[in-house]
């Protein structure tokens, strides 16, 4: 809850939860390097992540932007569109059901579950010029899971430190698919970008995800080369431009380390994410490069979703149970993950090392 006596600094790191955007409580966290907007009233989504010295936005923004779920009555109850209608881009924490609509232990779940269209509590824990920390908490409507997302920023850093905890309040063990739905775009992403990963294996989706899909379905091979349907190969270390007009899904697994980096070689700045590979054994690669015809993209969007996840194949928990990648959370237990994410300067792709070490 915002306070009348919150500090209003103009230097160091600062935080304020006294804002609303389109009627939704919004938290602003910033220092001299970055400004981050977090929509507390909508899943604690990170909707904007700007590197201030170059005015570079790293988060993908949908053409329809941020919509307030309180102000719209969906015209249908379609299990995919209820989530997608309000998807503004950016970064969502998706628990317990990352993936397409299906049944979850008797509950009817739409795409990516229910925690991203509901308000989360926000509590400022530390507010000093040296470090600011805020805790967000949300509870799934249709499952017994609570998510705690504690985000910290230090005065001289250009990245966030995120400590997340997921608690199963059921009196039975439950499987989950925990997805960090990070979509990169803005004026950062372009055909001048390259992707760097540790040693890993590439899997493509078992079937086409769109009529514009180009990847050969059910491909499996070593990073970075991938087979295309037309018989040629694609180098996944290179990000295509929007003129590629493709929409595909792929997955990285057997990661030697838990990190990735996207570098814009024109701007000479990078986006990096570090995560625990023992928990997030996969990275989903949502390649929306000007394809995706029809609802909801209509060929308008350009983004690279690079999303650490506990399971693979975006069919949700039911599919993860079938392929053995579902993650079990014991009754009454809490699991946790520490993540670093943000701007990396002077990154060397040749070294292929963790960007935050």
Q: Which two tokens stand for residue 256?
A: 């030697």
Looking at residue 93, its pLDDT comes to 98
DSSP string over 144-172: SEEEEEEEEEETT-SEEEEEEEEEE-SSS
d(CA 310, CA 246): 26
Model's pTM, two decimal places? Answer: 0.97
Give me the count of residues in the chain.
357
Domains of the chain and CATH, by start = 14-345 (2.70.98.10)
Mean pLDDT for the chain overall: 96
pLDDT digits (tens, 9 = 90+) for 259-296: 999 999 999 999 999 999 999 999 999 999 999 999 99
Residues 6+ apart with CB under 8 A from 95: 113, 115, 140, 145, 147, 166, 176, 178, 179
d(CA 282, CA 309): 5
Report the 10 Å Cβ neighbour count for 84.
16
Alpha carbon distance, N-terminus to C-terminus of the chain = 35
Q: How many helices (H) and strands (E) does the chain have?
A: 2, 26
pLDDT digits (tens, 9 = 90+) for 54-66: 999 999 999 999 9
């Amino acid at each position: 809850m915002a306070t009348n006596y919150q500090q209003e600094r103009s230097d160091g790191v600062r935080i304020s939860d006294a804002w609303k955007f389109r009627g939704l409580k919004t938290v602003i966290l910033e220092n001299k390097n970055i400004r981050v907007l977090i929509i507390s009233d909508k899943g604690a989504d990170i909707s904007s992540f700007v590197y201030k010295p170059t005015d570079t936005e790293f988060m993908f923004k949908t053409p329809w932007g941020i919509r307030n779920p309180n102000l719209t009555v969906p015209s249908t109850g379609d299990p995919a569109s209820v989530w997608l209608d309000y998807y503004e881009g950016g970064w969502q924490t998706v628990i317990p059901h990352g993936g397409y609509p299906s049944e979850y232990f008797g509950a009817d779940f739409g795409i990516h579950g229910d925690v991203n269209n509901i308000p989360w509590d926000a509590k400022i824990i530390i507010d000093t010029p040296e470090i600011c920390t805020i805790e967000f908490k949300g509870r799934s409507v249709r499952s017994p899971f609570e998510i705690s997302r504690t985000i910290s920023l230090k005065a001289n850093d250009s990245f966030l430190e995120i400590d997340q905890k997921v608690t199963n309040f059921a009196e039975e063990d439950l499987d989950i698919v925990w997805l960090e739905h990070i979509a990169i775009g803005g004026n950062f992403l372009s055909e001048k970008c390259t992707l760097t990963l540790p040693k890993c294996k590439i899997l493509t989706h078992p079937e086409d995800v769109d009529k514009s899909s180009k990847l050969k379905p059910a491909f499996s091979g070593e990073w970075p080369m991938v087979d295309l349907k037309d018989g040629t190969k694609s180098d996944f270390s290179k990000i295509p431009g929007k003129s590629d007009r493709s929409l595909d899904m792929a997955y990285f697994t057997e990661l030697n380390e838990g990190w990735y980096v996207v570098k814009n070689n024109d701007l000479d700045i990078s986006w990096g994410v570090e995560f625990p590979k023992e928990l997030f054994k996969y990275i989903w690669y949502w390649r929306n490069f000007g394809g995706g015809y029809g609802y909801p993209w209509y060929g308008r969007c350009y983004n690279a979703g690079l999303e650490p996840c506990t399971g693979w194949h975006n069919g949700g928990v039911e599919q993860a149970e079938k392929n053995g990648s579902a993650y079990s959370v014991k009754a009454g237990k809490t699991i946790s993950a520490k993540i670093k994410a943000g701007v990396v300067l002077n990154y060397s792709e040749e070294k292929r090392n963790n960007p935050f070490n």
